[in-house]
Chain A
Amino acid sequence: MSGHDFLLELGTEELPSAAVSGLSVALAEQLTSAFASHGISHGMVRSFGTPRRLAVWVKDLNERAADASIVRRGPPVSAAVDATGNPTRAGLAFAESCGCSFAELGRVTEAKGEFLHFASVKAGAATTALLGDIVIQAVAQLPVAKRMRWGDSDFEFARPVHWVVLLYAEQVLPCEVLGVASGRITYGHRFMAPGPLTLSAALDYEDLLFTQGRVVADFEQRRQQIRSGVTDLAAIEGGTPVLTDALLDEVTALVEWPVPLSAGFDARFLDLPDEVILATLQGHQRYFALRAANGRLLNRFITVANLVSSDPTQVVAGNERVVGPRLSDAAFFWNQDRAAPLHSRQEALRAVTFQAQLGSYFDKSVRASALASHLAPAFHADATLAVRGMQLAKCDLLSGLVGEFPELQGTMGGYYARHDGEPEAIATAISEHYRPRFAGDELPSGALGQILSVADKLDTITGIFAIGQKPSGTRDPYGLRRAALGVLRILIETRREVDLQDCIALATRNAVADRDARLGSGAAKTAPASGPAIERDVYDYMIDRLRAYYTENVAGVTTEMFEAVLDRRPRSAYDFDRRVQALAVFLTLADAPALAAANKRIANILRKSDESEGTTSITPTPLVQVEELSLQAALNEARPTVLEAIAQQNYAEALTRLAGLRGVVDAFFDKVLVNANEPGLKAARLQLLRDLRSLFLSIADLSRLPG
């Protein structure tokens, strides 16, 4: 067993920055999974990715694939050998299919008799014979988001491919990848080392590129280098860099030889909101902004150049020339936007379509305002403020800055509302009402913002359902999954007792009215969904997102627990959550499994009885046995405290109290035969079980829990 180092490098034109890291990792995964399926052993695997190359280096790739043992069972000996002891046609055919003579076949005795048997070892193929196909397949299976053609070839890749290095130890493996013949020539930095570089062995790759190619090929190493370089330079400037993973990744994917340089802009632009400055520096220019120790932005930034410039001052001056005009454009809009109050844009929202069948953003804010007003009491908020906030919340869509920086929607509205002298609570609410924008994002900080967020999202969800465009499979163009999860997170995490079904009903009424007002002109292709159907759909959809909420956010909530509560279809998400949490506590009790089992048993008994006797009314006669009488007594004693706890939504307390019944319940099932011969007694026992079950059911269906 001996192995050699392997290297594959694809040299390309500048890859999309979002693709570099993912494609280089995927290339390594494709190769290693192919090695595994061919039984080719190897050592460490490293992937490399820069704007101009994807590469994978593998240590000690075995020269041969592993031997494969072949075992085949043939026909029964009785069928393979005739009376005279000679092989039959079937016997010969099996030998032929195994590639040996009949005499070489063995025999094996199994329960069903004696069979022909073939065993052999297939020697593993030489790795060099397999690598060409493995590489071509691996490249073909890369998850390239957008493929393109170039020149007059039919090959497709993320960007044109210029060279392919394919080395096994010192040898080139001849192969054609995407129309390019493999070799040992690579290229370094586009400008600092443009000539060809010859790789004498796979082992030399990273080193040669670094020393002669002026390329830091390892993505992670480059990223580290940028992070520390930017941080060091920021310290010299008296600040710390605003580092986000997304920006670090993007910059790493844009350079082969990172050189951080610091530059600045006119201090008067610091009057702009931080978000606007950051959007310009990070979003447009991929610069790192700097903050002083007091948290304020500095009028300095760091750009990461892709070369050691022979005159860095020109690079700095050039970048400063770009930032100035961009910030002055932003300042122009900032001033212009504030010249007119936010509320003056409300009318103009009529011209901005939210969704053709549901009307404009004006219509949307009217609908959402009604919801906001309805929600206010549950959030202990002023309904007038909530309505005002909702009416203003979308007005910044018409501002110049949001036109330039769509990602600042909401944020700018908050600034403008504050500038207009709107109450601070409204300004904050507007700026935060798009939250949570992604998994794990913060919720709006105040009650008003939470109301606007819930109202806005619930209106979107219900409206889109009303026009029959609910998400299907992975298609979710309106982001309803995220919206639904956002609503649920707010209701549960801020502990708001909101009747979701009521809210959905209100949202549906308004959405359907707006929808139907637009149906008049164009003939609807299919009859639009009715209010009740939409309400049910939306509730079910939201509750289903709740399932996702638990799997993503809450450890220890199982599907059974979720189903047990879902059975009760609680009207409030927070109430739903309290029940689930109570079950989690309940399940830690020693009595839980037995009670779950008892609930199952009772549910079965009641179902069978309902099936066989339907609703025939037989007058129950008094209970007679000790065990049933004590169950009845215990139940009657527990009921008031349990109901009291339930009324206070203290489900854990209610369940703990019910758990105390375990002894009498067990004794009942041990000693009492529910199906008594006497119909009156049987009816009484069934009634007792029904009473017990219904008390449990007022919390959750415990029969769904493991027990």
Chain B
Amino acid sequence: MARDALAERPRTFQDLILRLQQYWAAQGCVLMQPYDMEVGAGTFHVATFLRAIGPEPWRAAYVQPSRRPTDGRYGDNPFRLQHYYQFQVVMKPSPADFIDRYLGSLASVGLDPLVQDVRLVEDNWESPTLGAWGLGWEIWVNGMEVSQFTYFQQVGGQDCKPVMGEITYGLERLAMYLQGVESIYELVWSDSEHGKITYGDVYHQNEVEQSRYNFELADTTELLRQFEALESECTRLLEAQSALPAYEKMLRASHTFNLLDARRAISVTERQRYILRVRTLARGVADAYLKSREALGFPLLKKQAL
């Protein structure tokens, strides 16, 4: 457990992302790009959800723009966004020194564990819609949660063997801490000879308009219709053993459900039923994906060097 080299703090939001990408690339992660669909968290990226299934080893890191319609605050709340960024790292099987590697990443962005009070506080993760759960922690730095750390036990109803370890950084929160600002919108995104561009410059208008859409404008009748259509489309694709396209329909159904939820178009009792419907799709996808990888002979098993 050698001490990790302590770096200078990244001065901008984009520097933070670059730093983390560099660090995790050096740990053997495949640097991926965001999944090009609306999702609630980095876990929904195929590089996590699907790669967690089956025996093949896998290591990846990526930024995932994430949408949680109910968290929208019209750009008024300095800490809450309906669209934000997660930095996701997955390693499967989870290495024995996974925590140490994570702590190394904190050092790489200038957080010294001999100065800061770093704590691992139990936080078990469960996603009813994904039929997934795992055990792990919130990572606190001086009482602030900066990451989630999870050992996946089940995904899509499948036991995870080997276990995938997942780290999710809340990038805005971490950046606010590193930059010492009091509002997300004050974060410096980039700083060049052309001046400083803040998070607010980039995203404030989006928060205002998307919050309005989520809470006021979204056409719930149309969304309900879409949910039904996506569900049957997903089911049809699963029957055709088409795992990846089916997964995308499930993602859209899941996001549609979130939008309906934000509009409070789903009653508390119905809510549970919708969650179960998405979970049924997620299980179907997990099944189909496992079969498809098996049919291919689990190609990544042959590349253990990965």
Contacts and interface: CB of A to CB of B under 8 A. Distances in A.
A277 to B, nearest CB: 15
B115 interface: yes
Contact of A191 (B114, B137, B163, B267): B114
A691 interface: no
Contacts of B78: 325
Contacts of A307: 113-114, 117
Contacts of A187: 1
A152 B117 contact: no
Given A14-B137, A149-B161, A150-B163, A310 B142 contact: no
B67 to A, nearest CB: 20
Interface residues of A, number: 49
A329 B79 contact: yes
A151 B96 contact: yes
B269 A254 contact: no
Interface stretch (B119-127, B222-230, B253-261): B119-127
A13 interface: yes
A322 B143 contact: yes
Contacts of A88: none
Contact of B267 (A18, A255, A323, A351): A351
Interface in A166-195: 187, 190-192, 194-195
A359 to B, nearest CB: 10
Interface string B262-304: 0010011100000000000000000000000000000000000
Interface residues of B, number: 41
B46 interface: no
A351 B268 contact: yes
B115 A310 contact: yes
A311 interface: yes
A254 B135 CA distance: 17
Nearest to A191: B113
B99 interface: yes
A146 B124 contact: yes
A352 B268 contact: yes
A305 B117 contact: yes
Interface in B113-163: 113-122, 124, 134-135, 137, 141-144, 151, 153, 160-163
B115 A150 contact: no
A353 B268 contact: yes
Contact of A303 (B93, B95, B143): B143
Interface in A223-269: 254-255
B181 to A, nearest CB: 10
A353 B96 CA distance: 45
A360 to B, nearest CB: 8
Contacts of A323: 143
B120 A13 contact: yes
B267 A353 contact: yes
Contacts of B163: 148-152
A190 B139 CA distance: 14
B96 A14 contact: no
Interface stretch (A313-321, A599-607, A655-663): A313-321
Interface in A385-443: none
A103 interface: no
Contacts of A356: 269
Contacts of B119: 254-255, 306
Given A51-B120, A148-B151, A151-B162, A319 B114 contact: no
Given A149-B163, A151-B163, A325 B116 contact: no
A306 B120 CA distance: 11
A311 B115 contact: yes
A285 interface: yes
A76 interface: no
Interface string A692-707: 0000000000000000
A554 B160 CA distance: 52
Given A315-B117, A329-B79, A150 B124 contact: no
Interface in A98-121: none
Contacts of A306: 117-119
Interface string B102-114: 0000000000111
Interface string A1-23: 00000000000011111100000
B161 A152 contact: yes
A321 B151 contact: no
Given A146-B135, A160-B96, A315 B122 contact: no
Contacts of B95: 151
14 contacts: A14-B120, A16-B122, A51-B120, A149-B163, A152-B93, A152-B163, A160-B151, A287-B143, A307-B117, A315-B115, A322-B142, A322-B143, A325-B78, A351-B264
Interface of B: 1, 3, 77-79, 93-96, 99, 112-122, 124, 134-135, 137, 141-144, 151, 153, 160-163, 165, 177, 264, 267-269
